[in-house]
Amino acid sequence: MRIADVDVAAAARLPADPSRSAMLALLLDGRAHPAGALAQAAGIGRPAASAHLKQLVGAGYLEVVRQGRPRYCRIARPEVATALESLAAIAPSLPVRSLRQSSAARLRATARTCYDHLAGPAGVLLHDALRDHGQVAEDAVTPTGVSCFDALGIDVDRLRRGRRPLLKTCLDWTERRPHLAGALPAALLVAFTDRGWTVRRTGLDGAPNGRQVEIDPAGWEQLRDWLGCSAGCHRR
């Protein structure tokens, strides 16, 4: 491949836009993100983000994975990541970096919600702990689990009577590992929030979507304590 035979300008045009490069920078973690999150990261509206993603997918930079309702995008080929990183090597440093922005990024890294239940690292940790300690087995709640959740004020039998599935395994696209969805995880998030372990946010950029969850260090410790306690429930 000779440099004169390819259209370098076309390749550079896509990351040359600040909105697209912000999306790509977020996607450089190798994980898949929904279009809405990418729009939020770029600071633009959904229509604009949709147009950008259309271009990026059309150029073969990104690929789309369907997982439930939303569309998840991730970097399609390692060459794309390589090109972005080599561009970063000659890129000037960003002049200012707001505290709000950096704290938002840190927040996003530790906890988020998937609709109405805990996802992200905390969601995966919850999934692993409940499965390891026997409260959950094969997408079902075990008898030990019922009593353990009852201690948090959750009536598993009542949830089981509802139309919503009690428990589903959902692949977490920010962690690429499974977390738990369904009526029980939703109730667990409510229980965690009631106890102040997790706090609903109004949105990273002030938008009132209320889908973000904050776990401060103290809450994180208490949540992990409960997960350890749940192990005790099992042994008991």
Judged by CB under 8 A, which of 47, 66, 69, 90 binds a copy of itself?
90
Judged by CB under 8 A, which of 47, 69, 94, 206 binds a copy of itself?
94
Cβ neighbours around 124 below 10 Å, total = 19
- # of chain residues touching a copy of itself (CB under 8 A): 44
d(CA 180, CA 165): 11
d(CA 204, CA 41): 9
Judged by CB under 7 A, which of 6, 12, 51, 218 binds DNA?
51
For residue 65, give the amino acid letter.
V
Q: Does 80 bind a copy of itself (CB under 8 A)?
A: yes
Q: CB of 175: closest distance to a copy of itself in angstroms? A: 19
d(CA 168, CA 204): 28
Residue 77 binding target from a copy of itself, DNA, none, CB below 5 to 8 Å by type: a copy of itself
- The smaller minimum CB distance to a copy of itself, of residues 10 and 66, is found at 10
Q: Does 50 bind DNA (CB under 7 A)?
A: yes
- Which one of 68-76, 83-91, 117-125, 151-159 is the stretch in contact with DNA (CB under 7 A)? 68-76
Judged by CB under 8 A, which of 47, 69, 92, 217 binds a copy of itself?
92
DSSP assignments along 39-51, one per residue: HHHHT--HHHHHH
Residue 217's alpha-carbon distances to 40, 69, 107, 166, in angstroms, are 25, 32, 11, 29
Q: Does 84 bind a copy of itself (CB under 8 A)?
A: yes
The burial of 2, by beta-carbon neighbours within 10 Å (0-12 exposed, 13-18 middle, 19 or more buried), is given as exposed
Residues from 153 through 212 that contact DNA (CB under 7 A): 163-164, 209, 211
d(CA 105, CA 88): 19
- Which residues bind to a copy of itself, rule: CB under 8 A? 1, 3-18, 20-22, 24-25, 28, 59-61, 77, 79-80, 82-94, 97, 105
